[in-house]
Structure 1
Amino acid sequence: MLTTKREPVTGGRAPSADTLAGAAVRALRDEAWLSPKPGLVDRRGTGAHDDMDLPLLLASAEALRPAFRSAAAVADRMAAGGGLRAELGRIGRAGERAMLRATRGANTHRGALWALGLLVAGVAGGARDEREAALGAARLAAFPDRRNPAGTASHGERVRRRHGARGARGEAEDAFPHVMEVALPRLRRARAAGLAEETARLDALLEVMSLLDDTCVLHRGGLEGLRVVRLGAERVLAEGGAGTARGHAALLELDERLRARRLSPGGSGDLLAAALFLDLVPWPGRPAPGGREGPACGH
Structure 2
Amino acid sequence: MPPMHSSLAFEIHRLADCLTEGLRRELFLTPKPGLVDLLDAGSHPDLSLSLMLESIEFVAQGYRTFAAALVRGCCAADLVPVGRALENRLLSTFGTNTHKGAIFLGGLLLCALAHNGGRSHHLQKAVSAVAAQILPQHHTGATHGAALRNQKAATGILGEARRGLPALFEDALPALAAARAGGWDHSQAGLAAMARLMQKVEDTTALHRCGPSGLERLRSDGARLEVFLLQKVDPAPFLLAANRDYMRLRLTMGGVADLLAMAFGLSAFHHRRSCHASTAEVTAA
Q: Place the TM-score, normalised by the shorter chain, in its bin.
A: 0.7 to 0.9
1:39 partnered with 2:34: yes
In 1, Cα distance between the equivalents of 2:179 and 2:196? Answer: 12
1:208 partnered with 2:186: no
Residue aligning to 2:238: 250
In 2, Cα distance between the equivalents of 1:272 and 1:119? Answer: 14
For the residue of structure 1 that corresponds to 2:274, the secondary structure is coil
Deviations 1:132-179 (A, max 9, x none): 333222212112456666x92421121123243221111111111001
Distance apart, 1:107 and its partner CA: 1.0
- Kept in 2, the 8 Å contact 1:63–1:98? The answer is no
Letter in 2 for 1:266: G
Distance apart, 1:120 and its partner CA: 1.5
Residue aligning to 2:59: 64
In terms of fraction of residues, the more helix-rich structure is 2
- Kept in 2, the 8 Å contact 1:42–1:54? The answer is yes
Q: How do 1:173-184 residues align onto structure 2 when only pairs under 5 Å count?
A: 173-184=162-173
Distance apart, 1:224 and its partner CA: 1.0
- In the superposition, the TM-score normalised over structure 1's length comes to 0.83
1:198 partnered with 2:187: yes
Deviations 1:207-259 (A, max 9, x none): 100121111100111101111111112112123359623x3332222222211
Percent identity between the aligned chains?
A: 33
Distance apart, 1:77 and its partner CA: 4.1
Distance apart, 1:267 and its partner CA: 0.2
- Kept in 1, the 8 Å contact 2:80–2:134? The answer is no
- Kept in 2, the 8 Å contact 1:182–1:207? The answer is yes
Q: For structure 1, which segment, 20-29 or 114-123, has the greater mean C-alpha deviation from structure 2 after superposition? A: 20-29
Residue aligning to 1:274: 262
- Kept in 2, the 8 Å contact 1:236–1:242? The answer is no
> 1:48–1:243: structure 2 CA closer, same or farther, 3 Å change rule?
farther
Letter in 2 for 1:281: F
> Which of 131, 150, 154 does residue 141 from structure 1 map onto?
131
Residue aligning to 2:154: 165
Residue aligning to 1:113: 103
Q: How do 1:212-291 residues align onto structure 2 when only pairs under 5 Å count?
A: 212-240=201-229, 244-245=233-234, 247-281=235-269, 286-287=274-275
Letter in 2 for 1:214: D
> 1:32–1:68: structure 2 CA closer, same or farther, 3 Å change rule?
same
- In the superposition, the TM-score normalised over structure 2's length comes to 0.86
In 1, Cα distance between the equivalents of 2:54 and 2:273? Answer: 33
Residue aligning to 1:291: none
In 2, Cα distance between the equivalents of 1:243 and 1:33? Answer: 21
- Kept in 2, the 8 Å contact 1:160–1:215? The answer is no
- Kept in 1, the 8 Å contact 2:160–2:166? The answer is yes
Residue aligning to 1:295: none
Letter in 2 for 1:68: Y
Aligned residues: 275
> Which of 167, 174, 179 does residue 185 from structure 1 map onto?
174
Distance apart, 1:16 and its partner CA: 5.0
- Kept in 2, the 8 Å contact 1:36–1:42? The answer is yes
Distance apart, 1:87 and its partner CA: 1.6
State the Cα RMSD in Å. 2.7
In 1, Cα distance between the equivalents of 2:23 and 2:4? Answer: 28
> 1:227–1:146: structure 2 CA closer, same or farther, 3 Å change rule?
closer
> 1:124–1:63: structure 2 CA closer, same or farther, 3 Å change rule?
same
- Kept in 2, the 8 Å contact 1:202–1:242? The answer is no
Letter in 2 for 1:278: L
